A = this chain, B = another copy of it.
Amino acid sequence: MAHRLDRLLAPRSIAVVGASDRSNWSHRINDALEVIGYPGAVHLVNPKGGTAHGRPVHPSVPDIPETPDLAYVMVPEKAVLAAMTDVAEAGVPAAVVLSSGFAEVGAAGRARQEELADLARKHDMVVLGPNALGYVNAPGKVALKPFQRGEELVAGSIGVVSQSGNITVAVINLARSFHIGLSYAVSTGNEMDVTVGDVVDYLAADPDTRAIAVFAETFQDPPTFLRACRAARAAGKPVVVLKVGRSEAAARAALAHTGSLVGDDAVIDAFLHAAGAIRVSSIEDLLATADLFAHTGPIRGDGLAVLTISGGTCDIAADSAADHGLRMPDFEPATATRLAGILPDYATVQNPLDVTGAATTDPELFARSLALVTADPNVDVALAVHELDHHAPDGEWGRRSLESMVDAARAAPAPAVFVNTTVRHLSDRTRAVRAKLAAPFVFGGLDRVLVAVGRLMEWHRRPHGDPAGRPPTVELPAPRGRWSEVTCRELLAQHGIPVVPGQVVASPTAAAAAAREFGGPVAIKVVSAGLPHKSDAGGVALGVAPDDVAAVAAEVLDTVRHKEPGAVVDGLLVSPMRPDGVDLLVGVVRDPAWGCVLAVGLGGIWTEVLRDVRRVALPATHETVRAALLGLRAAPLLRGARGTDPVDLDAVVDVVTRFGELALALGEELATIEVNPLRVTGSTVEALDAAVVWRTTN
């Protein structure tokens, strides 16, 4: 299947525009294409003609006898538009623009970039950049990014996309340092045309790519990026994302050097999660997670086994696994018996398994143990912490040990990988032996790999289907400003969200009558559209005894008139008081770029002091909503901690999910909708208060 980026990322021929013996960059690109062994034709272009790098130079692109698939443009900023016009008019379908001096330098640069974009659109040209460092395509042997000799990419199955050229370099350096194989490494620069999402989409379909690693400062085009993540997920490939700008300081820093606002990180995070992305916070974790998946594929359960030849390492593994919430199941009795049969008497058969120093004399003991452990039905992934090959990788003993281990890992029913005790430099000798055997050694040391294991387990468990069903159709009275509580209550009730009974009355006397009807103490609230904080305005009285209602209602009206003389008061809402329960806060915020995010939390101190809130992107399934509720630190209260009855979680999940559907149906004019509190008492779930605010203020 053809992809829009085919010519860009897998060109059959390349024009290097700006080639010159006097340009350092020209030498480096020329060397890079030579080093990687690019099989296509490379045409050098420079208006000055002559020769460069010992080859003839064409004065312009139309002078090239064929139409190249791709132009690599590295002329000074002032010459870019002319050069690109030349490229476009020659019918070249794709270009990489290395030149900087565009949107990243301010308003004048943005205008220049706009001109360039117009040109590209007019000619239907695919453009990477400007201000893009270029890319490497390892399987296709295309290197449009400098390399020094001896610093080649290790070809492998991780596709890397980054907005920052410096970070692309850092990722490639880390990968080379630890022999991590990459399929592609693409720098998108200013993203005038091609964005990280486009490249992720390309990699999702690329047969050489098994896992995708993304560095992003901002998402220019959220829908494309999310669609690409879903395509990758559907292809069984995780997209691991290092998205910066989470902190206030980083948001400020990003604004300084990219000129773009990064958006609300909690919103982005919810959408990335829903689209199946795995979020990390360091370059090491980015590659460790992708590298682990490249070797294990999906980890289909949560049973982790660790094998070592050191008791101390077993202890570290057990502690770290517990820190990261990883389960290390007991082996089945049959496995334990078989292990006891091959291990020395003084060994203790348990998980993590200390194969003992006997593995330093019997070269196949470790492999036999690994075969038994990975055959255990409780084990979903096995980490073999084994470094003997560091010491004797090419001796007879080392060869047998390593070969038997690799054979055992390959034949293992559950994924098995080899991990170093710590992150560690590989000698050329060790590297060569491992490469020859294609041994599944992963990057990171036990410490970092355990974190990556947890991430891949969570990724596999995460609901991968999109929510089915269509949101309800909603007729809206007046989607403007801040609705009164009464309008909000009607909206909720119409769409199946239970609301505490209430009667709107016009006078204190009518309030007293309404209260008598309900019996027992009541809540009295002023009804006023546009009044943002009715409590602060004195417009709320709770637990009012029936006999006091008339007087209190009059006082409420007086106070509001006094404190908010401009407020339009449409009456009073009288509701019965409800028994104590668990108070939830449920809200939806619509982000104009990303969409709706549902936030759930427990009220009171839980939100005020602990910020105990979970967010999910909408649409969301019952399953996702349930996971969010159970992911709250306060979740034990829902399960009936403190001796209280547990609440009817199914009923809560149902109401919250329906609330999300309703919010989504309210359309693009919605700013926020909130129920606070949603009171849950046993199996009763009821909205006690609600607010809706629209984007259009009036």
A319 B246 Cβ-Cβ under 8 A:
yes
Bound: A425/B420 CA distance, A:
15
Report chain B residues within 8 Å CB of A471. none
Interface residue stretch chosen among A69-77, A170-178, A372-380, A670-678: A170-178
> Which stretch in A248-256, A397-405, A472-480 binds the other chain?
A248-256
- A105 engages B346 (CB within 8 Å): yes
Q: Say whether B311 contacts A174, CB under 8 Å.
A: no
A636 to B178, CA, bound (A): 45
The answer to whether A283 has its CB under 8 Å from any CB of chain B is yes
Known: A350-B253, A610-B633. A312 touches B166 (CB 8 A): yes
Chain B residue with the shortest CB-CB distance to A151: B391
The A365-387 residues at the B interface (CB cut-off 8 A) are 387
Residues 245-295 of A contacting B (Cβ, < 8 Å): 245-250, 252-254, 256-258, 281-285
Cβ of A571 within 8 Å of any chain B Cβ, yes or no, is no
Using A315-B244, A316-B282, A610-B633 as known contacts, say yes or no to A174 and B423 having CB atoms under 8 A apart: yes
Selected A-B contacts with CB under 8 Å, 20 pairs: A167-B316, A170-B387, A174-B422, A244-B319, A245-B319, A249-B322, A250-B314, A250-B318, A250-B322, A252-B350, A253-B354, A256-B350, A281-B316, A282-B445, A282-B446, A283-B316, A284-B423, A423-B423, A425-B426, A608-B642
Interface assignment of A697: CB less than 8 Å from any CB of chain B = no
Nearest-neighbour CB distance to chain B for A39, whole angstroms, equals 28
Complex contacts, A250 vs chain B, CB 8 Å: 314-316, 318-319, 322
Bound complex: CA A637 to CA B312 (Å): 42
- Asked whether, in the complex, the Cβ of A320 is within 8 Å of the Cβ of B281, the reply is yes
Chain copies in the assembly? Answer: 2
Closest to A168 in B: B312
- Check A245–B315 contact: CB distance below 8 A: yes
In this assembly, does A698 line the interface, its C-beta being within 8 Å of a C-beta of chain B?
no
Give the CA-CA distance A610 to B609 in the complex, in Å.
13
Q: Which residues of B contact A94 (CB under 8 A)?
A: none
Bound state CA distance, A447 and B282, in angstroms?
Answer: 6
Q: Is the CB of B311 within 8 A of A354?
A: no
Contacts of A309 in B (CB 8 A): 166
Chain B's closest residue to A100 (CB) is B357
Mark out the residues of chain A between 135 and 183 whose CB falls within 8 Å of any chain B CB in the assembled complex: 148, 162-164, 166-167, 170, 173-174, 177-178
Give the interface of A toward B (CB within 8 A).
105-106, 148, 162-164, 166-167, 170, 173-174, 177-178, 215, 217, 242, 244-250, 252-254, 256-258, 281-285, 309-316, 318-323, 328, 346, 348, 350, 352, 354, 387, 390-391, 421-426, 445-447, 604-605, 608-610, 633-634, 636-637, 641-642
Query: Complex formed: what's the CA distance from A321 to B246 in Å?
Result: 11
The smallest C-beta distance from A359 to any residue of chain B, in angstroms, reads 11
Contact of A256 (CB < 8 Å), options: B167, B178, B348: B348
Interface pair A249/B321, CB less than 8 Å apart:
yes
A310 CB contacts on chain B under 8 angstroms: 164, 166-167, 170
Q: Give the docked Cα–Cα distance between A72 and B387 (Å).
A: 27
Q: Given the complex, which residues of B lie within 8 Å of A217, measured CB to CB?
A: 311-312, 315
Q: A282-B320, A283-B445, A609-B636 are in contact. List 5 more A-B contacts (CB 8 A).
A: A173-B424, A178-B425, A249-B319, A252-B318, A605-B641
Interchain CA distance A245-B319 in the complex, whole Å? 7
Task: Point out the residues of chain B lying under 8 angstroms from A605, CB to CB.
Answer: 634, 637, 641-642
CA distance A313 to B323 in the complex (A): 28
Residue of B106, B253, B311 touching A164 (CB-CB under 8 A): B311
Is the Cβ of B313 less than 8 Å from the Cβ of A422?
no
Q: Contact between B352 and A174 (Cβ–Cβ < 8 Å)?
A: no
Complex: how many Å from CA A633 to CA B314? 32
Which residues of chain B are within 8 angstroms of A246 by Cβ–Cβ distance?
A: 319, 322-323
The residue in A177, A254, A315, A605 that gathers the most chain B C-beta atoms within 10 A of its C-beta is A315
Bound Cα distance A319, B312 (Å): 33
Q: In this complex, what residue of B is CB-closest to A242? A: B316
Task: Determine how close the nearest CB of chain B comes to the CB of A247; give it in whole angstroms.
Answer: 3
A170 B313 Cβ-Cβ under 8 A? yes
Measured in the bound complex, the distance between the Cα atoms of B424 and A178 in whole Å is 8
Q: With both chains docked as a complex, state the minimum distance between the C-beta of A113 and any C-beta of chain B, in angstroms.
A: 15
Contact present for A247 and B421 (CB under 8 Å): no
Contacts of A346 in B (CB 8 A): 105-106
